[in-house]
Amino acid sequence: MPKKRSDEETSLSKPNSIRCRYCGQKNAVKADFKNNDAACGKCKLPLSDEPHKKFADLSKHDYIHPDDSKALAALRAIPGIDSALRKLLEVTGEAALRVIFTASSVKVTTKQFPDLHAKLQVACTTLGVDMPEMFVQQNPVVNAFTYGSKKHIIVLHSGLLERLNDEETLAVISHEVGHIHAEHVLYLTAARLMEALANASAAKLIPGSEIIKFIIAAGINSALLAWARRAELSCDRAGLLVVQDPHVIGRVMMKLAGGTSASKIDYDEFLEQGRQFKKTCDEKALDKFWATWINAGQTHPFPIWRVGEILDWVESGQYQDLMNKQ
Ligand SMILES: [Zn+2]
Ligand SMILES: [Zn+2]
């Protein structure tokens, strides 16, 4: 008669299963999965038995950087700004941007880039945002952006996906979802349109040239740029609220700063550089450089400055307070 197996034997012989902390997918794993860098079959993020916090009722005021609020208040104080920007989006055809992306990029769905779709879902459920559309565009520049005043669209460049690992990619997607949560997108889209027009020197060729002249004369363009740079700080915080590990944000910034040479950078020294930069940072000089930088096609500026800012937020205890709340 075969010997009855003990409970212990039974549990060892059957595969363990673990629910992905991010997306909830059930994954079959071996007992030593933690030592093997096991990843979730759906979202491809690392498996872990640590909990992952989803925010039930996150307000943008919980994490908005004070410099973002201040610059946005200055922007909104310009007389006629909202109607001018609405007019700008109307005449330059915000809808055209959507056509361009849907015609030239791959839409992220459960069948195309399914792991990116799952990551987008993780970012949206964690922050409490309705799922926007997301596209992947062939472009070697490591970048991502969000636009659309009526319907929000996130675009990820292929260069970004080649450079970042899965957690870092989640951080970037979450940063973009943060722009939606923080209600930045109307102003971001206007900033982007202004950049595009400046780059193409096309301002005088389009029917809305009068409105563009007004926007530049009223100082809206420079106030828009000054705000857009600071808006990044709030969304780095939103990214951290999703990945829930400051080092992931640090590594993203390291890769944004070091490019293909990132593997030669010492991470701790990089963080120290961020701290030192923050101490001596000249805000006005950054504003000046930012205008040039943006013309060079860089929409996510100054990773060294940003890593200093995110470290500051973590060390202030505000991040941990939010994680403990609700
Ligand atoms: Zn997962
Ligand atoms: Zn951004």
Q: Which ligand is nearest to the CA of 43?
A: 1
Q: Contacts for 280-286 with beta carbons within 8 Å, 24 or more apart?
A: 281/305, 281/308, 286/229
Q: Which ligand is nearest to the CA of 25?
A: 1
pLDDT over 60 (residue 204): no
Per DSSP, 128 falls in state: T
Residues 6+ positions from 238 with CB-CB distance below 8 Å = 63, 127, 174, 175, 177, 178, 179, 181, 182
So what's the pLDDT on residue 210? 74
Lowest-pLDDT choice from 61-65, 201-205, 231-235: 201-205
Stretch 262-271: mean pLDDT: 84
155-188: per-residue pLDDT in tens?
999 999 999 999 999 999 999 999 999 999 888 8
CA dist 34 and 221 (Å) reads 50
So what's the pLDDT on residue 313? 96
Instruction: List C-alpha distances in Å: 19 to 12, 45, 50, 119.
Output: 18, 12, 10, 15
Distance of CA 232 from the midpoint of ligand 2 (Å): 5
Distance of CA 52 from the midpoint of ligand 1 (Å): 11
pLDDT over 90 (residue 89): no
* Full-model pTM: 0.87
Distance of CA 171 from the midpoint of ligand 1 (Å): 15
pLDDT over 60 (residue 9): no
Distance of CA 83 from the midpoint of ligand 1 (Å): 43
Contact 275, 315 (CB under 8 A): no
Distance of CA 321 from the midpoint of ligand 2 (Å): 24
Q: What is the mean pLDDT of the chain?
A: 84
pLDDT over 80 (residue 325): yes
Per DSSP, 19 falls in state: E
- Among 248, 240, 244, 233, smallest CA distance to 168 is for 248
pLDDT over 90 (residue 20): yes
**Element (H or E) spanning 122, and its range?**
helix 114-127
Comparing 147 with 314, which gets the higher pLDDT?
314
Q: Which ligand is nearest to the CA of 301?
A: 2
Comparing 293 with 114, which gets the higher pLDDT?
114
So what's the pLDDT on residue 208? 60
pLDDT band at 213 (very low <50, low <70, confident <90, very high): confident
So what's the pLDDT on residue 224? 85
Instruction: List C-alpha distances in Å: 131 to 109, 115, 117, 171.
Output: 11, 15, 10, 16
Beta strands, E only, 149-270 = 153-157
pLDDT band at 7 (very low <50, low <70, confident <90, very high): very low
pLDDT over 70 (residue 30): yes
270-321: per-residue pLDDT in tens?
889 888 888 887 777 776 666 666 555 555 678 888 999 999 999 999 999 9
Contact 21, 122 (CB under 8 A): no
How many distinct helices (H) and strands (E) make up the chain? 15, 6
So what's the pLDDT on residue 225? 81
Which residues are tagged catalytic? 176
